[in-house]
Amino acid sequence: MSSTLSRDTTVNAPTLSNGTDWLIIAGLASVAAVYVRAFLFTPPEATQGPAQRILYVHAPSAFVALYLAFALMALTSALYLWLKDEKLDRVAESAAEVGLAYTSVVLVTGPLWGKPIWGAWWTWDARLTLTLFLWFIIVGYLVLRGAIDERGMRARYSAVLALLAGFLIPFIHLSVYLFRTMHPMPIVLKPSAPSMPGVMLVTFTSAFFAFTLLFAGLLRARYRMATLRDSLADRENDR
Amino acid sequence: MPDAALVRSAPPGMLRASWLIARKDLAIEFRTRTAFLSALVFALLAATIFFFAWDATAVAASDLAPGVLWVTFTFSGLLGLQRSFGVEQADRAIDALLVTPVDREAIYLGKAIANLVFVAGVEAVTIPAVMLLYNLPVGRGTLALAAIALLAAIGLVAVGTLFAAMAVNTRLAELLLPMLSLPFFVPIVMAAAGSSAKLLAGRPVAEAWPWLRILIAFDVVFVVACTLAFPFTLEE
Amino acid sequence: MDFRCSQLSLFRRTPPPYLSGMPSAAFPPNDASPILVAEALVRAFSGRRAVDGVSFALQSGECLALFGPNGAGKTTLLRLLAGLLAPSSGTCRMGNDASRAGSSPRGLVGLVSHASMLYSALSARENVEFTARMYGLPDPRAAADVALRTMRVADRGDAPVRSLSRGLQQRVSIARAIVHEPRLILCDEPYTGLDAAGSAALSAALDERRASGAALVLVTHNIDEGLALATHVAVMQRGRLARYEPRADVDASGYATEYRDLVTADA
């Protein structure tokens, strides 16, 4: 039976960069570049006006939150239950925290976009509602982690939760979709990506890359912090 | 030298062990009855309060009923689930159970069955009470309502039992159980409310079927997933 | 049992180097195969080693009295031996069967701890019968009756456990632990809360089980009770066995003082 002693973490712990974290800087720079391009070089949309530019923040964040952060969380949790490697647990934890930030961005920009465009703060739009539930799930995950001190139990329990949440999200999506088809909501203008003219499309897709880059940087930094925290705790326990 | 002790006793198989554990849990619950009565009274009170929270002239009571029913069902179910693992934690009785050769999954199934009986018992009183208070038509829809309630209870209990097992070992047990479970209860409530609204209004079953399909799929997926995940919640 | 520890001096203070992390070659083959063999058992929680390399073997009819200060890891060790915890490394084997590393075949182990492990709303009889059913005994009711009578608590068998005094609850808990006639009985401070009659019943029951071939591990703070039942004596400190010797090598009158000196020296 392979040893699960966490002493092993102290040996190869990646250090929180003593120098600059280039990945995060690159991420931030590209997000800034997208903003610049969005405001200065991309014309506002005809029907919606300047508020439409929130889409360049809203849509990529939603993509990263669900398909990158949450998927990574659920996947590494499943792998942790199988392989029992602490590194997987740290990745899941980092993905959850960074994912929470992105999810919050989606939930804030959604109403900010909705009010000037549709006249309503919240319309129970299928994707936005799914993101709301994702937010609840990630918060529950982090609260659960906060309520358990022992590292092994904390990793196991949160892995179980994340794995089950991975099964839940499709059900929520289906339920909300069915709910909306059964209860017709006021028709809402829904500008979506495919009908965009070229210059907006370029801004749109580069926004996706920028936010993904930033996600990777934040994830890595958070992971390093988790490794450092755990190896510090190990060293304290050995004393 | 053959070891006589190993040969002599044959530990019960998974189904029998689950049944024995469920029976034990129900015996304990029956002795005190406080949790059952609390959940029941809560459900009835909630149904009553909801009635006064809405303007009865704007919305017909019978239209409100499905929503009220499933919301009270969810929260009274949570009350029952809270106590589910408390009895094992109190004097570490769970350790005695874990030392025996019984399958770990049987512990989960046994507790889930006991919780199901508990929730079904509360529902058996609450549904007629809601039908009375909200002037729901008694007819073909009633049987369908009972069936939906059973399906919803299975899903509720499957997820709730697992999270109760986890929550009891943490610092914030009473807060964590609702917080973790409620997102999982949302598809159940939506499906149950959607299908029961259709059936109570006398619509054909085919219209409720999309919701029922979601409910059944949810039950199947989560009973299996939670049974398999349960051993991970035990200290190893 | 051919242990070099029989040459341990009673006045030795430093733990002999070979007792922690002992390789399996140090356990010589024996005709009567041991009931329990623990090799280099380690268990860590969040990096801290509660059990740090414990090795020993127990034959049928032996009783190991395990002393040690609070926090030494005795409870964790018992939970490892009972199969409630998996070791971080090392193995724990039971019977002839070299089972999977880290688990003891359940059905052979009885556990008594200071928590009663009973359902307080049920009666003593129902508790013990339930455990008997979980072990798959052919006649649970009769087995429960025998166990309750052995611990002299059968007359209060039908009252709910919560109405019994702490001492009586402990007796019921012991009855529950021995109902399936286990080959290995692990006791974690079982004398806590027992009166003279209860202690006598417990000692008699444990001794009877030991005479019929079971092995015992007895964790206790009560040196006299421990020495009375023991065939081997050990002291656990900071996750390791600081001392391990046969009972015959121990001088009962002086042991208490030595033990106290040993544990306060490191405090």
pLDDT score at C120: 92
**Taking a C-beta distance cutoff of 8 angstroms, is the pair C109, C143 a contact?**
no
Cβ–Cβ gap A3/C45 under 8 Å? no
Reference C183, options C38, C39, C82, C67; nearest CA is C82
C13 has pLDDT over 60: no
User: Within an 8 Å CB–CB cutoff, is residue A148 touching chain B?
Assistant: yes
Please report, for residues A28, A43, A46, A113, B148, the alpha-carbon distance to residue A201 in angstroms, rounded to integers and kept in the order given.
21, 11, 15, 19, 47
Cβ–Cβ gap C116/B235 under 8 Å? no
Of B179, B191, B211, the CB nearest to A143: B179
Q: Residue A153's pLDDT band (boundaries 50, 70, 90)? A: very high
Cβ–Cβ gap C89/A150 under 8 Å? no
Owner of token pair 């890891």: C73
Cβ–Cβ gap A156/B233 under 8 Å? yes
C19 has pLDDT over 50: no
**Closest Cα of chain C to B99: distance in Å?**
6
Q: Which long-range contacts (CB under 8 A, 24 or more apart) does B40-44 make?
A: B40/B76, B40/B121, B40/B122, B40/B125, B40/B126, B42/B72, B42/B75, B42/B76, B42/B79, B43/B72, B43/B73, B43/B75, B43/B76, B43/B122, B43/B125, B43/B126, B43/B129, B44/B125, B44/B126, B44/B129
Q: In sequence order, which residues have a C-beta less than 8 Å from that of residue C203 and are 6 or more positions away?
A: C225, C228, C229
Mean pLDDT of A69-75: 96
Cβ–Cβ gap C96/B3 under 8 Å? yes
pLDDT score at A8: 46
**Taking a C-beta distance cutoff of 8 angstroms, is the pair A190, A40 a contact?**
no
pLDDT in tens, C225-244: 888 889 999 999 888 988 88
Mean pLDDT of chain C: 80
pLDDT score at C83: 87
Cα A146 to the chain's mean position, in Å? 19
Identify all chain B residues contacting A143, using CB atoms and an 8 Å cutoff.
Answer: 172, 175-176, 179
C8 has pLDDT over 60: no
β partners of residue C246 = C232
Q: Residue C92's pLDDT band (boundaries 50, 70, 90)? A: confident
pLDDT score at C14: 34
**Taking a C-beta distance cutoff of 8 angstroms, is the pair C41, C77 a contact?**
yes
**Closest Cα of chain B to C117: distance in Å?**
4
Of B183, B222, B232, the CB nearest to A160: B232
**Closest Cα of chain A to C44: distance in Å?**
7
β partners of residue C160 = C123
Taking the model in full, what pTM does it have?
A: 0.86
pLDDT in tens, A53-65: 788 888 889 888 9
pLDDT score at A19: 63
**Closest Cα of chain B to C230: distance in Å?**
23
Cβ–Cβ gap C119/B28 under 8 Å? yes
User: Within an 8 Å CB–CB cutoff, is residue A177 touching chain B?
Assistant: no
pLDDT in tens, C22-79: 333 333 334 356 788 888 899 988 778 889 889 989 988 899 999 988 888 899 999 9
User: Within an 8 Å CB–CB cutoff, is residue A229 touching chain C?
Assistant: no
C160 has pLDDT over 90: yes
Q: Residue C5's pLDDT band (boundaries 50, 70, 90)? A: very low
Q: What is the DSSP letter of A119?
A: S
Please report, for residues A135, C10, C234, C248, the alpha-carbon distance to residue C227 in angstroms, rounded to integers and kept in the order given.
60, 15, 10, 10
Owner of token pair 């976009």: A113
pLDDT score at C100: 39
User: Within an 8 Å CB–CB cutoff, is residue A136 touching chain B?
Assistant: yes
Give the chains touching A; criterion: ≥3 Cβ pairs < 8 Å: B, C
Of C44, C101, C102, the CB nearest to A5: C44
Mean pLDDT of C176-189: 92
User: Within an 8 Å CB–CB cutoff, is residue A193 touching chain C?
Assistant: no
**Taking a C-beta distance cutoff of 8 angstroms, is the pair C116, C169 a contact?**
yes
Of B166, B190, B225, the CB nearest to A179: B190
pLDDT score at B44: 93
**Taking a C-beta distance cutoff of 8 angstroms, is the pair C247, C80 a contact?**
no
Of A1, A3, A237, the CB nearest to C46: A237
Please report, for residues A104, C155, C237, the alpha-carbon distance to residue C63 in angstroms, rounded to integers and kept in the order given.
61, 30, 19
ipTM of the predicted assembly exceeds 0.95: no
Identify all chain C residues contacting B7, using CB atoms and an 8 Å cutoff.
Answer: none
User: Within an 8 Å CB–CB cutoff, is residue C48 touching chain A?
Assistant: yes
Cβ–Cβ gap B98/C84 under 8 Å? yes
Cβ–Cβ gap C47/A238 under 8 Å? yes
What pLDDT tens digit does each residue of chain B (236 aa) get? 334 444 456 788 889 999 999 999 999 999 888 889 999 999 999 999 988 888 777 777 777 888 889 999 999 999 889 888 988 888 899 999 999 989 899 999 999 999 999 999 999 999 999 888 888 877 777 888 899 999 999 999 999 999 999 999 998 888 999 999 999 999 999 999 999 888 887 788 888 899 999 999 999 999 999 999 999 998 77
- H runs (alpha helix) in B134-204: 140-167, 173-200
Q: In sequence order, which residues have a C-beta less than 8 Å from that of residue A75 and are 6 or more positions away?
A: A166
Chain A contact probe: residue of B166, B168, B171, B174 with most A CBs at under 10 A: B166
The count of CB pairs under 8 A between chains A and C is 37
